[in-house]
Amino acid sequence: MANIRYIQILVFALCSSLLIITTQSHGHSGLPKRHAPLFILGDSVFEAGNNNYFNTTARANYKPYGETYFKYPTGRFSDGRQIPDFIAQYAKLPLIPPYLQLDLHDFSYGVNFASAGSGALDGTRRGSVISLKTQLSNFKIVRKSLRKKLGDHEAKSLLSRAVYFFNTGSNDYLFAFDTDPTVLGSYSQQEYVDLVIGNMTSVVKGIYKRGGRNFALLDLWPMACLPYGRGTLEKKGACFDTITPYVTLHNKGLANALQKLEKKLEGFRYSFISSNEFLTKRMNNPSKYGFVEGKVACCGSGPYGGIFNCGGMKISKKYNLCKNVSEYVFFDSSHPTERVYEQFAKKIWSGNSITAPYNLKALFEN
């Protein structure tokens, strides 16, 4: 009888020890040790549905958006998943939800702040988007929430491991040309580009000041030759080459700005990603990469599908929709298809041909 009692006590002690070890290893959040969250900032290329929650025309919460993968419109400007969705998958994270999602309470895996139509400049589509500066303010709120939930030490560790993924700037140029070209006339090309990049780096430094250390930023696409550039801005079917000098200056300037930040900020690590080179190759030689059409959008109207009315929710209601979206580089006038995004995500995750000095996998394994 004494032996049985001794065994019971021993088993109880062992189970209690295991429970304590398990609890300590998971901390407050129950997350795997050393996991790195993903925080996403930017525009429609990264938008996951924030614009669904306020009054704006910059939305994609209607069909046929989302039908390839989700089977319903989520607010993403594509037929399916976007670059951050694939990166989250490769990093063994769940889909990163939009910040304004009403039932969102856990930010431990990260959050998506991106807003379609926004730019680096506060004045870009002011009042109808969440500006990059406001996205930074929302990050500060999330940081405060994490500190309250996890404690200062664990929150600091989590935020320092996180990857901060940016795509912004294109709307600062596109909407200036499309809606108010006089804005550009107030500055030299270099001065205007410096304003855009200055706002971008200001937000990067704001996140760094609050614990961020790992940053990934995309350069600008070949905007002159997007279906939107060919079919709407140029109106003659040629590339809208007037915008190209801004794109060239921006991409060079952003690369230089990140190099300077790396030298100035201790522990700052980054990936500068050449989306321009990647997309240009698929536009000019689609068959080499498994596509049929590289210049015309699958969904839209007008020359090259360049009128932005996919889904018929804009002023112009009639639109065309291709039969096989997987054959197209572009889904609508300004945004690629899920297949393109997947190819891109794979390339920047573990490759080094369009990422420098780190790829995304290296940032997550910091």
Dist. CA 304–CA 286, nearest whole Å = 15
Residue 51 CA: distances (Å) to CA of 46, 96, 220, 282: 12, 15, 22, 29
Active site residue 26: no
Residue tagged active-site, from 44, 108, 115, 274: 44
Active site residue 44: yes
Active site residue 43: no
Structure tokens at 141: 């709120």
Residue tagged active-site, from 85, 131, 332, 333: 332
Residue 83 CA: distances (Å) to CA of 87, 95, 102, 239, 315: 6, 11, 23, 25, 29
Classify the C-alpha dihedral 269-337-122-131 as positive or negative. negative
> Is the distance from CB of 214 to CB of 140 less than 8 angstroms?
no
DSSP 191-227: HHHHHHHHHHHHHHHHHHHTT--EEEEE----GGGSH
From first CA to last CA, the distance across the chain in angstroms is: 55
Residue tagged active-site, from 118, 271, 334, 335: 335
> Is the distance from CB of 96 to CB of 111 less than 8 angstroms?
yes
Dist. CA 242–CA 233, nearest whole Å = 10
Catalytic site residues? 44, 332, 335
